[in-house]
Amino acid sequence: LMNAAVAQGVEPAQIAQHCDSVSLCFSKGLGAPAGAVLAGCREFVSEAWRVRKLLGGGMRQAGVLAAAARLGLQHAQVTLRRDHDNARRFAEGIRVLDSPLCSINLAAVETNIVMVNVQGLWPSPAELCDRLRAVSEEEVAETGQAVSVLLLPWSARTARAVWHRDISARDTELARRKLEFVARKCQE
């Protein structure tokens, strides 16, 4: 919800007005260590509260977590915009790379998520993700750095990359360089 609101330049309420209920996780993108909020009609929230208690849910000293969530909400616009910008830079780097190994649909990069299209018969998205995660002596010797990039094999031909508050512009550039290194090695 928050990423969509930032990407569209609207308040979250403008998107949520079309929903019967909304759940917002404070640890995803907002940087709080834990916590979520649930909103909906009174009957829905009452039933959710009852089921949560029935299943043993509940926390003591939740104020500390609530403070972190509040801070995350206050800085969401700046933090999430930075995540979106980093994701866009990574995607643009893939486009400039112009590799037969992978491609990108820049028009689809609207938030902090980048879907990398893996082309050809080899490597598969899982194999590409394994190579991006692994650090080899050859990589260190050639690039002078040991970089491990975590992407998720998403489908038969795509891998998913997601940015969050702990990934800097420098980290994004290192990830782009690692993808360039891996693509070159796969072509050799």
Is residue 92 situated within a structural domain?
Answer: no
pLDDT digits 0-9 by tens, 140-170? 888 888 999 999 999 999 999 999 988 999 9
Nearest CA to 30 out of 170, 161, 166 is that of 166
Same domain assignment for residues 168 and 102: yes
- For residue 46, with 0-12 CB atoms within 10 Å meaning exposed, 13-18 middle and 19 or more buried, which class applies? exposed
Give the domain-ending residue among 14, 48, 77: 77
Residue 47 lies in a domain: yes
What's 165's DSSP letter?
T
- Distance of CA 75 to CAs 20, 80, 83, 137, Å? 26, 8, 12, 40
In a domain, 87, yes or no: no
- pLDDT attached to residue 59: 65
Over residues 97-107, mean pLDDT: 92
122: closest CA among 186, 177, 181?
186
pLDDT digits (tens, 9 = 90+) for 56-70: 776 666 777 788 888
Question: Which residue type, as a one-letter code, is found at position 163?
Answer: W
Q: Do residue 69 and residue 104 come from a single domain?
A: no
- Pairing assessment for the beta strands 152-153 and 36-40 based on DSSP bridges: unpaired
Q: What is the CA radius of gyration of the chain?
A: 20
Domain with residue 156: its CATH number is: 3.90.1150.10
Residue-wise pLDDT for 16-73, tens only, equals 999 999 988 888 778 888 888 889 999 999 998 888 888 877 666 677 778 888 888 8
Q: How many domains does the chain have?
A: 2
CA distances from 145 to 13, 71, 166, 175, 181 (A): 44, 35, 19, 11, 11
- The answer as to whether 45 is a domain residue is yes
Judged by DSSP in three states, 38 sits in strand
> What is the domain extent for residue 161?
98-186
Length of the chain: 188
Assess whether 103 and 165 both reside in one domain: yes
Model pTM score = 0.82
Q: Determine, yes or no, domain membership for 36.
A: yes
Kindly report whether the peptide bond that precedes residue 123 is cis, defined as omega within 30 degrees of 0. yes
